[in-house]
Amino acid sequence: MPDRRRGLAAVLAIAVVGMLSACVSIPSSGSVTQGVAINGNAGGGNVQYNPEGPAKGAKQQDILKGFVAAFTSATGGYAVAKRYLSSDFASKWDPSAAVQVRSGQARLSQVGDTTMEYSFTASATVDASGVYKDGSQPFTLQFSFVKQRGEWRISAAPAGIVLSDQTFQRIFVSTPLYFLDANNEHLVPDLRWYPNGTAPARIVAALLGGPPPWLKGAAFSRFPDGTQLSDVGSVTVDAGVARIDLSKEAQNATAAERQLMQLQLSESLRSVGSISRVSLSVNGAPLQIDDFASSPPQADTKVDPQALVFRKGAFGFYANGKVASLGPLSSKVVALDPQAATLSSDQTTAAVLLRQGGVSVVRKGATPATPIDQRPRLIAPSLDERDYVWSVPADSPNAITVYDTNDVAHPLISPALPTDSQIVSLEVSRDGARVAILLSTSTGPRLIVAAILRNEKQVPVSLGPPVVDVSFGGDVAVDATWADQLTIATLVSVNGQSSVQLFTIGGQRVSLGTMPSAKSIVGGNNGQDGLRALGMDSSIWTYRGSSWQSSNLTVDFIATQR
């Protein structure tokens, strides 16, 4: 997109509002939830703004407007914005402390000879580490002025910046930071937001800081403790190569850890379009890193693109008008008279909810199907990457029980779900580090996403603090599924129809519209394009373009693939 000209900068001076004052600070606590939708790609990336510095003889109001308009450019550490500050204050102001994402219009008022205020409503906040948090609340922000060489300059202002929601989406870039599960088998994402032009350095710094609090104990960094950018190090990008110089602690990494360090950086920097490769050094000396001998951990595990269904007494992948059997495993599932099922990633294990009640596990080979949970009103079970079966009664959300490969029950310790709710669906993410839970409450559907904490034997023991805990509109909660590594799709009933929404962990909420009443939804590949919903008439619906379309294929149920 071409650079904006002066006229647009003037408009943005009004559209973009001020920062938090010393007495009104940016929120630093609260759960990460969802905000308004951002259209198109997440983050503008290539948009550039050229704000102007202060004009000679400008009044206080003009100085403040120019200052907030300059928030659109992070070049030189917000060098243009700092030109509006007094010489004493310019070095003290920290623009990277946080971003308030403003909705609606702001109001400017003079409250003293050298004091002005901005009032507005913030819809979200991005903190210093790039974490996006939703939270609509009003703010009144105060700015002080002083005359310096006969010109008004700002002598006191809050740390951080404020951008309108439209401007935020144009100049901020979203990127997942990648950590690893305990066994180094899967990459686990955590979404962050950074201004265009500063993203590579801030991505690396945040990654070196380790997993966020909500993921600790479920995801890990393979950088040796204390590893930072070197004292004289930086992140430079030249001809598509990101050159990253680390502190001496990185030398303590084993050969395998060095591979994983580079992988974490490569995948985390993938969203920066100018970067195709990562080169590491320690205090200027190249760090030797061997290639992986086998496939490295994947950032987004794929499943078979064909629908896994139970149809006309057959269980398997539907293609060319037929259900392709999975061999003896399919026969065992069919014999159980199934109502729902989840298939493991290696297609050797299935967790099955029976129509007559109870959950059984089916494994490939001669082993017969094994009943593992006979409690009443069980919901569809889930599997994790260690083939543990997750099962829970609808009326007892805190009675989640995990069954290991020896069919031994391990009750989850204090999931701390609301006792006056019903649990509608529970699904473990494909990396096995997180779980999405949809509840039905007296005030409507409620979505919770939390990390899975395991003991030294990798048995799930509890859930971490929710990263998502949001109630949202809808008459009846129906189902939820992972649409991709960062997004959960929810299905709720609204006025006799079904509504689907996408909740991005650490991002925005997006509506995928409505369809005729549906009873389940299952994720596949490619986010929203891989979703399949099962209508009340047993037909499969898919999301194409901007609407739901029926495939005219009818099945008893669509199974979940790990």
Instruction: Estimate the crossing angle of helix 6-15 against helix 60-69, to 10 degrees.
Output: 100
Of 172, 197, 219, the last residue of a domain is: 172
* 292 within a domain of the structure (yes/no): no
User: Which residue do the tokens 């199974």 mark?
Assistant: 559
Of the candidate ranges 23-37, 56-70, 145-159, 304-318, the one whose mean pLDDT is the lowest: 23-37
pLDDT in tens, 522-532: 999 989 999 99
CATH of the domain at 480: 2.120.10.30
| pLDDT 10s digits, 285-298 | 999 999 998 889 98
pLDDT band with cut points at 50, 70 and 90 for residue 233? low
Shared domain for 346 and 472, answered yes or no, is yes
- Residue 442 falls within a domain, yes or no? yes
Integer Cα distance of 19 and 141 in angstroms:
6
User: How far apart are the two ends of the chain, measured CA to CA in Å?
Assistant: 40
Residues 441 and 351 in one domain: yes
Residue-level pLDDT at 47? 65
474 located within any domain: yes
57 within some domain? yes
In a domain, 143, yes or no: yes
- 134 lies in the same domain as 276: no
Task: For residue 456, tell me if it sits in a domain.
Answer: yes
- 163 and 203 share a domain? no
Least confident of 70-74, 76-80, 261-265, 366-370: 366-370
Whether residues 280 and 382 fall in one domain: no
Q: How far is CA 325 from the centre of its chain?
A: 35
- Return the pLDDT at 367: 84
pTM of the model: 0.87
- Same domain for 164 and 186, yes or no, is no
In a domain, 59, yes or no: yes
Q: Are strands 487-494 and 497-504 parallel, antiparallel or unpaired?
A: antiparallel
487-512 confidence digits (pLDDT tens): 999 999 998 899 999 999 999 899 99
Q: Which domain holds residue 325?
A: 308-561
Please indicate, yes or no, whether residues 455 and 535 belong to a single structural domain of this protein: yes
Backbone angles phi, psi at 351, to 5 degrees: -100, 130
User: Do 165 and 195 lie in a common domain?
Assistant: no
Q: What percent of the chain clears pLDDT 70, i.e. is strictly above it?
A: 91
Q: What token pair was written down for 549?
A: 């379309």
Number of domains comprising the chain:
3
Residue 46 makes CB contacts below 8 A (sequence gap 6+) with 1, 196, 273
pLDDT of 46: 56
pLDDT of residue 300: 86
Task: Say whether both 105 and 195 belong to one domain.
Answer: no
Q: What is the pLDDT of residue 421?
A: 94
pLDDT of the residue at 282: 93
Same structural domain, 54 and 30: yes
Give strand ranges (E) for 442-496.
444-454, 460-463, 468-471, 476-482, 487-494
Same domain, 364 and 510: yes
Given a cut of 50, whether residue 454 has pLDDT beyond it is yes
**69 found inside a domain:** yes
In tens, the pLDDT along 405-451 reads 999 999 999 788 998 999 999 999 999 999 999 999 999 999 999 99
Q: Region 245-269: what's the mean pLDDT?
A: 95
**What is the residue-averaged pLDDT of the chain?**
89
> Do 355 and 448 sit in the same domain of this protein?
yes
In the structure, what pLDDT confidence band is assigned to residue 6 with cuts at 50, 70 and 90?
Answer: very low
Final residue before a domain boundary, out of 128, 152, 172: 172
The residue from 124, 151, 172 where one domain ends is: 172
